[in-house]
DNA sequence: CCAGCGGATGTTTACGTAAACATTACGAGC
DNA sequence: GCTCGTAATGTTTACGTAAACATCCGCTGG
């Protein structure tokens, strides 16, 4: 900066003013400084800036691997949204979702140049962490439920699951089976609860719950079992990947979709429209979740608020070929 | 730091020594300092550290969206590998792959606290950028070909494509059609070139090339056209998503896979094993690509080398149910 | 018994920037 | 013509850390 100032024949403070776009600098001086900056290839030192300003203009994102479609979409939205606000995004990967790894990420976070953290993770891992988040670091949690302790932005899991069940009941199915996600997952739990509530609310006794682990493979295994229940005409899978495995199992066992069995998923992956048959599913607006995370955390940084609350992002039913009226209804109707 | 020093009854320099794990501090003193740090909730200011040290211990990753499976896997490997080396990873998203956006990312990069950059992007966007990368920032390019100008880590696209074609020829197919990626993509171009070379090398005249845009939807559209060519018994799709669309189109047109048509993909998505039928494909080791990017860039940072070169990561053929011998060969054999 | 040595710790300084304050220059108003 | 106000620019300082150098202390060996 001093070099630039010397070359332009001004003081370093004037260079700083130009560099930050402050007013009170003659157009002529500004041009001279800019020319000097270009000539010397000057780039402001962000470390010194951060030191002086007391903030890094950087957001940390803690997420357990980038393995799921939803997390990635959310992360992407966070990154672009943060860039628009002049913030950078630093990744804090957690290789495996164990307590040790989470603790490690938290302690690394302590040394990291971030003003705030967005956590995309099952909240129980956060709760059980023995290493606490550094004080003065704002937190927003995506995709979880802890509105009383943290600021949360989440998809309306319950609403989406309810819509899925209702869609199938409206088509004339007597009941809806549920292929749930793993027990440890709150998202899975909430979708399962909403499924159960929607059924009992409609006066239907829920059939036994079938569990997978989000993977297509687990959906396939569950599908092989479900194919044997010939009274099962409608299945709500807790995500699209399990639905994919389910479709394959049903096909192998000669159960036609949607003629014999209707299948609905949850997520709306880009590929879901190309499944065999194209999958009816609940669309999640991950981009909106990411955007809201950034908005809300920047508000928190500016205002230093400590209020918590939950923002719900609505889902949308996407109707495709994998759901239809049950054979009985068609024959009878 | 001064507070910690005062509480522990030592100088700030001793605190610094403890904080950085330097030798020359009595165990007793060390414990006292640690206790004081805990009590005051001290966390080192990374801005001041970076300012003093002259390096940020941070890697920037420029990538055009997080839309493709490969980029995401690579990014994930970069993040974990960087963490292992004590480096943080900052994301530089490019919303749309236009020159303007890339230029914007580059100029933002100038103000960013990074020591080096890993570019996961088509190289021609880098070449055509009007804003040059800041001097002193090391660069490694993933998934592209510019070994003469940059350090490159890439999957062995040509080798994988060759293996795909040979696999189908070995099964007895007369020729292999190719569903290529978009024209602008070097990866697509290299796979297409290798496909053509493998065929001509085997004395077979390549059929006309069919083009998609990587999406399942484009694979579906291409598949509808291919289904009409009844002499087409084997298709090599340039990625698994297009292969998925292709499978659906063939199914709709009554062409059985693999009985009538064999299909092989490229990527090995987690879902590909659950396609109908499970997809034979070329597995890419994205994790290895990411790991090598980090290794090589850290070497460059340490040594300040300017040498360029390309590191190729091998692929692996994963045989599943979507490929088999052509009907003619089975009848004849 | 004291010089000399080495390990433990303290003091000074500089990293690059921007806020706060100081200075200069110039024109308007009396 | 002199003062005052304002816009433009310069000077000083502090942000938190760690390298470089300085100091202190106890012990060893002649």
Nucleotide of closest approach to B24 (CA, C1'): C8
CA–C1' distance A32–C25 (Å)? 20
Whether B56-153+286-312 shares its CATH topology with B157-285+317-332 is answered yes
Is the backbone peptide bond immediately before B258 cis, with ω within 30 degrees of 0? Answer: yes
In tens, the pLDDT along A71-114 reads 889 999 999 999 889 899 999 888 777 788 888 888 778 778 89
Average pLDDT over residues B147-162: 91
Query: B1: which chain A residues are within 8 Å (Cβ-Cβ)?
Result: none
Contact at CB, B108 and A50, closer than 8 angstroms: no
Average pLDDT over residues A191-201: 98
What per-residue confidence (pLDDT) applies to A176?
A: 98
In tens, the pLDDT along A116-139 reads 999 998 777 777 777 777 777 888
Q: Within 7 Å: CB of A45 and strand C?
A: yes
Distance from CA of B91 to the nearest CA of A (A): 6
Domain covering A54-154+286-313 assigned CATH 3.40.50.2300 in the classification = yes
Contact at CB, B241 and A271, closer than 8 angstroms: yes
In tens, the pLDDT along A224-250 reads 999 999 999 999 999 999 999 999 999
Query: A276: which chain B residues are within 8 Å (Cβ-Cβ)?
Result: 247-248, 251, 276
Average pLDDT over residues A9-25: 88
The DSSP string of B299-318 is HHHHH-----EEEEE--EEE
Q: Looking at chain B, which residue has its C-alpha nearest residue A80?
A: B93
What per-residue confidence (pLDDT) applies to B329?
A: 64
| Residues of chain A above pLDDT 70, percent | 97
* Distant-in-sequence contacts of B4-7, Cβ < 8 A, 24+ apart: B4/B33, B4/B36, B4/B37, B4/B40, B4/B42, B5/B36, B7/B36, B7/B39, B7/B40
Mean pLDDT of chain A: 90
Contact at CB, A247 and B48, closer than 8 angstroms: no
Name which of A41, A90, A245 is nearest B90 (Cβ-Cβ): A90
What per-residue confidence (pLDDT) applies to B113?
A: 85
Average pLDDT over residues A200-210: 97
Give chain A residues 48-87 with Cβ within 7 A of strand D: 48, 51-52, 54
Q: Which of A212, A250, A271, A272 to mutate to test the interface with B (most CBs of B within 10 A)?
A: A271
Average pLDDT over residues B112-131: 82
Beta carbon pairs, A and B, within 8 Å = 149
CATH of domain B2-44: 1.10.260.40
pLDDT at B231 over 80: yes
- Chain A within 8 Å of B219 (Cβ-Cβ)? yes
In tens, the pLDDT along A243-291 reads 999 999 999 999 999 999 999 999 999 999 999 999 999 999 999 999 9
Average pLDDT over residues A49-77: 87
| Beta strand pairing call for B88-94 and B151-155 | unpaired
What per-residue confidence (pLDDT) applies to A328?
A: 73
CA–C1' distance A52–D14 (Å)? 8
In this structure, of A81-85, B169-173, B247-251, the range with the lowest mean pLDDT score is: A81-85
CATH superfamily label, B56-153+286-312? Response regulator (3.40.50.2300)
Banded model confidence at residue B118, pLDDT cuts 50, 70, 90: very high
pLDDT at B246 over 60: yes
- Chain A within 8 Å of B270 (Cβ-Cβ)? yes
Nucleotide of closest approach to B20 (CA, C1'): D18
CATH of domain A157-285+317-332: 3.40.50.2300
- Chain B within 8 Å of A91 (Cβ-Cβ)? yes
Q: Which residue ranges make up each domain of chain A?
A: 2-44, 54-154+286-313, 157-285+317-332
Distance from CA of A326 to the nearest CA of B (A): 22
Burial class, A166, CB count within 10 angstroms (exposed 0-12 / middle 13-18 / buried 19+): middle
């Amino acid at each position: 900066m001093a070099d630039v100032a010397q070359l332009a024949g001004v003081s370093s403070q004037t260079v700083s003013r130009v560099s930050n776009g402050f007013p009170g600098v003659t157009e002529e001086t500004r041009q001279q400084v800019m020319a000097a900056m270009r000539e010397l290839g000057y780039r402001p030192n962000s470390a010194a800036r951060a030191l002086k300003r007391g903030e890094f203009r950087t957001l940390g994102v803690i997420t357990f691997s980038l393995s799921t479609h939803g997390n990635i979409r959310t992360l992407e939205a966070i990154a672009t949204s943060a860039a628009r606000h002049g913030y950078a995004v630093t990744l804090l990967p957690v290789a495996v979702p164990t307590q040790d790894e989470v603790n490690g990420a938290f302690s690394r976070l302590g040394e990291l140049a971030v003003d705030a953290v967005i956590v995309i993770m099952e909240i129980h891992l956060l709760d059980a962490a023995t290493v606490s988040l550094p004080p003065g670091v704002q937190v927003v949690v995506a995709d979880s439920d802890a509105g009383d302790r943290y600021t949360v932005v989440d998809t309306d899991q319950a609403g989406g699951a309810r819509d899925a069940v209702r869609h199938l009941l409206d088509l004339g199915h007597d009941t809806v089976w549920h292929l749930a996600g793993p027990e440890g997952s709150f998202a899975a739990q909430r979708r399962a609860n909403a499924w159960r509530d929607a059924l009992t609310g409609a006066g239907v006794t829920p059939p036994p719950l079938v569990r997978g682990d989000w993977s297509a493979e687990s959906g396939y295994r569950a599908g092989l079992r479900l194919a044997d229940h010939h009274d099962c005409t409608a299945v709500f899978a807790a995500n699209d990947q399990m639905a994919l495995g389910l479709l394959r199992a049903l096909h192998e066992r000669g159960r036609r979709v949607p003629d014999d069995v209707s299948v609905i998923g949850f997520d709306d992956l880009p590929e879901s429209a190309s499944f065999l048959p194209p999958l009816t599913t609940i669309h999640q607006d991950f981009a909106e979740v990411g955007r809201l995370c950034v908005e809300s955390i920047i508000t928190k940084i500016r205002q230093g608020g400590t209020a918590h609350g939950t923002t719900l992002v609505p889902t949308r039913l996407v109707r495709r070929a994998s759901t239809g009226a049950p054979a009985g209804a068609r024959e009878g109707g």
